[in-house]
Amino acid sequence: MKDLPMSHGADGKSETLQNLSALSVEEGIVARLLIKWGGQLPSWTEFKDANASGAVMVNSAVATRSLYRASKMGNGPKIFWIIYGLALPAIATLSVPVAIAGWIIFGFAWWWAPLSFVLTWFLYKVILQGACDGVREAAFLSERFYLTLVSQGAFLFGPADRDD
């Protein structure tokens, strides 16, 4: 990760915000965590406390990349990977071609094709949310997995006594 100076400009945040805008999304999340937590990443206990209060936001890009790894490492319920990593992506991928083939070959109503695009978009959103929930659950159950993901920018939350 790029170095992020913790000094502030005359307005209090300008230098930090300029530095954050030059980072990738994941690096920016880690930098924001460092700022919120006084220069260090939050501990697993702090994560569990924030998770219990519903204050943890999950980066969906990191979550989708890490869902399979969470199930293989035994860190979380495999059902998350089966549902959100296998079943729903397969249905989403096949819904448009099946609807178009059904329309052309079997004479399904024409509106099945546009409806399949809506179904695919909806399933995509469900998959992202499910991946986030699965990775959050896996991190809650395994400190090693949490430490791996927090350094990759998977979670964003602040101290419980601050309103950031």
Please state the φ and ψ torsions of residue 104, each to the nearest 5 degrees: -75, -50
Per-residue pLDDT at 9: 45
Instruction: Give yes or no for residue 84 having a pLDDT over 80.
Output: yes
Domain ranges of the chain: 41-156
For residue 81, count CB atoms less than 10 angstroms from its CB and return exposed for 0-12, middle for 13-18, buried for 19 or more: buried
Distance set, CA 64 to CA 85, 92, 143, 154 (Å): 8, 15, 19, 10
Structure tokens at 40: 């260090």
Structure tokens given for 101: 């083939």
pLDDT on residue 118: 96
Q: At a CB cut-off of 8 Å and minimum separation 6, what does 74 contact?
A: none
Residue 24: what pLDDT? 82
Q: Tell me the pLDDT tens digit for each residue of 57-66.
A: 999 999 988 8
For the question of whether the overall pTM of this predicted structure is more than 0.85, the answer is no
pLDDT in tens, 13-38: 444 555 656 668 888 899 999 999 99
Gap between the Cα atoms of 136 and 124, Å rounded? 18
Structure tokens that stand for 118 in this block: 């809506």
- From the number of C-beta atoms within 10 Å of its C-beta (0-12, 13-18, 19+), residue 134 rates as buried
